[in-house]
Homo-oligomer: A and B are copies of this chain.
Amino acid sequence: MKPVLYGYFRSGTTYRVRAALNYKGVDYDYEPVDLAGGAQSGEAYKRLNPQGLVPALKVDGGVLTQSPAILEWMEETWPEPALLPHEPILRARTRAFCAAIGCDIHPIQNLRILKAVKAMKDSDPDAGTEWARHWITVGFEALEQMAEPDAGAGGFLFGTGPSLAEVYLMPQMFNAERFGVDLERFPKLVAANAAAQSVPEFAAAHPSRQPDAR
């Protein structure tokens, strides 16, 4: 069967999986899950993914959840074109860059956390944005230093071509812009994001180009 991606146009974790599917040339169907309308907490979706989070990828044999696990499965299942370098240390540095976004930035500025922060600050409308901007900035300071100083041609972060590092970076840059993070402080990240957007398969994964975009 053709894989089915359940996701939401503006979800950063869905954006990651879309970018990787496109880059690997996988033909897939897309089922939007309306996060704004709460569809992720409905019975139907929770049968698919008990965590009530997007994305989920339905494939032969089961439903895969959690974008880091989906991306590793994709790399093992469709190894070419590769999204991880072959050299072990560079591979580990690529994955560390991804984890610094996937564990230490993205989940802290997720919708459910921003709602909780806003509730703590007596519904101050700016509380969520300030919180998100702060933690993205802290995370980007580390990422800017982790960005491979000896990256090859094309301006990509690790090695000579696009990797999971760009797959994770693009959605986080998109969020950083939404929350008004001062990106001038992070020239390496800005350059890597520009290099990533020049890859047509990655550009096609942008939230604004999805069928459920609004």
List the interface of chain A (C-beta within 8 A of B). Answer: 50-53, 59, 61-62, 64-70, 72-73, 76-77, 88-89, 91-96, 98-100, 102-104, 106-108, 113, 116-117, 120-121, 131, 142, 145-146
Contact = CB atoms under 8 A, between A and B. Distances in A.
A139 to B, nearest CB: 8
Contacts of A98: 69
A131 B120 CA distance: 10
Given A50-B145, A62-B93, A76 B88 contact: yes
Given A72-B95, A102-B103, 18 more contacts: A50-B142, A51-B142, A52-B142, A64-B92, A64-B93, A65-B146, A66-B96, A66-B99, A67-B99, A68-B95, A69-B94, A69-B96, A76-B88, A76-B91, A99-B102, A103-B103, A103-B106, A108-B108
A51 B104 contact: yes
Contact of A100 (B51, B100, B146): B51
Would you list the 10 A-B pairs with minimal beta carbon distance, nearest first?
A: A69-B95, A50-B145, A66-B99, A66-B96, A69-B96, A51-B142, A73-B92, A61-B89, A68-B99, A62-B89
A50 B103 contact: no
Nearest to A56: B96
Contact of A68 (B65, B103, B113, B142): B103
A7 B54 CA distance: 33
